[in-house]
């Protein structure tokens, strides 16, 4: 077999293996969707379970739908937000809110994301639908950082409707440090530790997530900290990534407050995050000019 034949064979094998990988990823994606449907079917015995309303527009998993339903129950159609940890902004918990008329800010620690964010979302920045600050948010600077960036688009941070925190590690310390009281908080939890396990990482100002399961506080630890601030746990999402809290004075009969933490807990189901397979089961996220957002 000459060199040309070997090269041709290698190319054929590479194409075949690539096609098989795509098929398997597509099967996994649709399998994840079936599993989500089965989980929701079991939860449907309680129509107030917020997981039933979950769906993805720009969020990592089903957070977009859960956030929408929480604010529906609070009677809030359009509001303000602050999201801490957005990477390039195309997979986050507030871009869908912007599409619905909300205004707010993003705080992102990775300076490499500054140019992609400014380039992609320039129209939102120009019309003051969005403000962006690049720099690490810490327990020491969170209140001033949020106040300053929101002030730039004439939003009072003390009247904020929604706060989302996802910094892959020290999230609980940011939560404990806030001196403002948004109506709803979404924050990442470490589903490795089910209730009643109370786990809180030692504070590390240099913490960087290393793609392992050492990543943040357990749900019980977050509930304890949030309750001290006056918040009630109302939901976790199906894949076991984010917890949702509503300010206690706003919780109404639309929420099932009889559910205990262990009943609201969802275990690690990271394989259900649809974006793991988006290249084969859908289109990658993007943003461009829309008539209603100009």
CATH architecture entry for 3-293: 3-Layer(aba) Sandwich (3.40)
Average pLDDT over all residues of the chain: 92
Give the domain ranges of the chain.
3-293
Confidence check: pLDDT of 283 > 70: yes
**What does 87-115 look like in DSSP terms, one character per residue?**
TTTTSSSSHHHHHTT-EEEEEES-GGGHH
Q: What is the pLDDT of residue 27?
A: 75
Residue 291 DSSP one-character state: G
pLDDT at 30: 82
Label residue 16 exposed, middle or buried (CB < 10 Å: 0-12, 13-18, 19+).
Answer: exposed
Residue range 5-25: mean pLDDT, rounded: 72
From 14-23, 61-70, 173-182, 253-262, the region with the lowest mean pLDDT: 14-23
pLDDT one-digit tens code per residue, 66-98:
999 999 999 999 999 999 999 999 999 999 999
Residue 258 has pLDDT above 80, yes or no: yes
Please tell me which residue, 10 or 125, carries the higher pLDDT value.
125
Strand 231-236 with 242-247, pairing: antiparallel
Has residue 198 got a pLDDT over 80? yes
pLDDT of residue 7: 72
pLDDT value, residue 2: 67
Q: Does 4 score more than 90 pLDDT?
A: no
Rounded Cα distance, 111 and 109, in Å: 6
Q: Please give the pLDDT value at position 243.
A: 99
Q: Can you count the helices (H) and strands (E) in the chain?
A: 10, 7
pLDDT at 1: 60
User: Is the pLDDT at 251 greater than 70, yes or no?
Assistant: yes
pLDDT for 25 equals 73
pLDDT at 147 over 70: yes
pLDDT beyond 90 at 45: yes
pLDDT recorded at residue 10? 67
Q: Is 35 exposed, middle or buried (0-12, 13-18, 19+ CB in 10 A)?
A: middle
Mean pLDDT within 215-221 = 96
Question: Residue 184: what pLDDT?
Answer: 99
Q: Quick check: 63 pLDDT over 60?
A: yes
Q: pLDDT value at position 191?
A: 97
Query: What does the pLDDT look like over 91-115, one tens digit per residue?
Result: 999 999 999 999 999 999 999 999 9
pLDDT per residue over 118-143, tens digit each? 999 999 999 999 999 999 999 999 99
Average pLDDT for 180-187? 99
Contact 93, 64 (CB under 8 A): yes
């Amino acid at each position: 077999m000459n060199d040309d034949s070997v090269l041709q064979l290698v190319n054929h094998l590479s194409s075949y293996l690539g096609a098989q990988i795509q098929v398997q990823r597509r099967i996994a994606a649709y399998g994840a969707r079936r599993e989500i449907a089965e989980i929701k079917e079991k939860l449907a015995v309680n129509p107030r379970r917020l997981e039933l309303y979950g769906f993805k527009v720009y969020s990592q998993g089903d957070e977009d739908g859960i956030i929408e339903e929480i604010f529906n129950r609070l009677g809030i159609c359009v509001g303000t937000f602050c999201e801490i940890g957005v990477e390039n902004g195309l997979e986050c918990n507030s871009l869908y809110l912007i599409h619905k008329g909300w205004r707010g800010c993003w705080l992102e620690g990775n300076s490499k994301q500054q140019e992609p964010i400014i380039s992609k979302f320039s129209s939102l920045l120009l019309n003051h639908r969005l403000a962006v600050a690049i720099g690490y948010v810490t327990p020491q600077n969170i209140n001033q950082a949020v106040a300053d960036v929101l002030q730039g688009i004439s939003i009072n941070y003390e009247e904020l409707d929604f706060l989302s925190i996802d910094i892959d590690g020290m999230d609980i310390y940011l939560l404990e440090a806030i001196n403002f009281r948004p109506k709803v908080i979404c924050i990442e939890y470490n589903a490795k530790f089910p209730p009643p396990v109370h786990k809180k990482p030692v504070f590390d100002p240099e913490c960087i997530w290393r793609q392992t399961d050492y990543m943040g506080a357990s749900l019980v630890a977050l509930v304890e900290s949030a309750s001290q601030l006056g918040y009630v746990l109302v939901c976790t999402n199906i894949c076991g990534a984010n917890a949702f809290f509503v300010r206690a004075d706003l919780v109404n009969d639309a929420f099932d407050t009889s559910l205990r933490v262990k009943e609201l807990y969802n275990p690690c189901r990271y394989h259900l995050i649809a974006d793991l397979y988006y290249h084969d089961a859908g289109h990658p996220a993007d943003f461009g000019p829309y008539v209603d957002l100009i």
